[in-house]
Structure 1
């Protein structure tokens, strides 16, 4: 298998996106802005209710780390995605979708079982609420991951959603060991406030003795650190990573680059759908670092890409759009 710049591990989920009302979220007892795990039967009932009363917006090969990997790849770098899908139609759709985006996958990712799904519910304020049936991805193990490309990769990227799976955490531990043995930098995202609240022990295990780069949003940073201010949170998070990126929504991002802390202002857009914004930010940021950009310029590119994602429905842009945005960004920086 060819050498890649980014080796990512994450859940494999087919996203089904709907535009929903706030009343619908209340009726379904869903906590707005978070991810909630469920079983297959409950997911089927919700899907039926959504089809009957809400607005369907589309389907994609989703998962947090997958969205990040797509942005990274579409901007011009190479990537591999380690995951687990079922030997079913959705599993084929999932892997085909990643391959069409230029991302390498392995045949061993396919196993008996049902491919997971995520109902992505976008409310009028553009906030996304997720209802997830993990399916076979909940049982991701090292047996479904081809670790060969990792030894020569530049980055290992881990999504915090894996914190809920005992077997996935074991696979991540193996990936971390390979990365450290080969001087591959490790990046991790906390992924979701629900992971910090309900799967804290799992996140601690994924982080282990620390990472090279930590992504989180403001709420996750405060919750994980137990701090009351972002300045205090940054100090506490430095025990886990020398490099920290805290996304602040429309306000931009707070960056701690080893010894220096600075803010990069956001970009004003009309928000339509927040789903995938943080994932796209991480993908663009990692691409920029891999391309030799400094942390400030990387954050500026990441804000540009993620703000465009927020401006439309769905967690990803068309592949050609990433390249065009990068081209225009480089012209402005020249």
Structure 2
């Protein structure tokens, strides 16, 4: 299924390098880290945590960037917009995403400018596979409208916006520019809510986008409840059926509920062992969007998302280690 556009999906979000380490639960308590959430930290706290962590792996990350990386691995025409500095971690990020066939042309913050560096996320993985993220946004926080190429957005069938990126000072203006360019050219807009605390910070803006701009919302069960401020997941799903043209609401080991035009289907989770939950939602979105651009039905899109998410949780780190095309073939999801 082709659209005539240069890109199937263009993602906009935080350009981050993940620094991952396995730690016992006692480490979180001793380090003052709240388990299972993403917490924003400053440069000094990033240095402090890095010194406490012990052996770690550096892997390119960032929520929307992980999604776009997955799409690149699946052979989709993908591009990414996110800010890094001309430094060591910035070079790692740019190389890794381009190596997957993704177009990445966001101007680097100059090395000569003092101040923020390339963003990094300290991902602390406990024995139960839960990840606690401490994120120093660095220069990714300064993504501005000047970084948004309107022609790139116009050449996208879908643009995919990261909820976390709303925390930046110029983010709303940057997103507005991207959405306008995409919509004016007949493109569609997807948003991932990212985190319940992110929803709490930006609920009014997210609800406005749901009413006025979005064609697709990605959320997990906690995020959708936070968005609609309901007592139960069932109530939140009812609201989603009434108010959203399309939504994919993941429910962990229970799979995903996919909503389209007031109807809902359920796809089960893929049978993979959970080692590290980092990137599960990101890769779910990659699989789901891949299905959409290939013209698959909602149940198949949801199944593709669950299989890609299953790959992500089966190892340390958010980027796929197995060829997603081969994995889809094993599950009878060719194409």
Q: TM-score, normalised by structure 1?
A: 0.92
RMSD, matched Cα: 1.9
Corresponding position of 2:217:
214
CA distance in 2, matches of 1:209, 1:170: 16
CA distance in 2, matches of 1:237, 1:177: 24
CA distance in 2, matches of 1:206, 1:169: 11
The yes-or-no answer on 1:137 pairing with 2:140 is yes
Moved runs in structure 1, 4+ residues, more than 6 A? none
Q: TM-score, normalised by structure 2?
A: 0.92
The structural deviation recorded for 1:46 is: 0.7
Corresponding position of 2:329:
327
Secondary structure, counterpart of 1:270 in structure 2: coil
Secondary structure, counterpart of 1:154 in structure 2: strand
Aligned residues: 327
Corresponding position of 1:25:
28
CA distance in 1, matches of 2:214, 2:66: 21
Unaligned runs of 5+ in 1: none
CA distance in 2, matches of 1:141, 1:240: 30
CA distance in 2, matches of 1:100, 1:66: 13
Summarize the alignment of residues 181-260 of structure 1 with structure 2, pairs less than 5 Å apart: 181-201=184-204, 203-204=206-207, 207=210, 209-238=212-241, 241-260=244-263
Range 274-283 or range 297-306, more displaced: 297-306
CA distance in 1, matches of 2:108, 2:64: 15
The answer to whether the Cα contact below 8 Å between 2:325 and 2:334 also exists between their aligned partners in 1 is no
The structural deviation recorded for 1:323 is: 1.8
Range 205-214 or range 155-164, more displaced: 205-214
Secondary structure, counterpart of 1:85 in structure 2: coil
Q: CA offsets per residue over residues 220-277 of structure 1, 9 Å max, x none?
A: 1111111122221023235652111110111100111112112111223221000000
Corresponding position of 1:72:
71
Unaligned runs of 5+ in 2: none
CA distance in 2, matches of 1:239, 1:211: 14
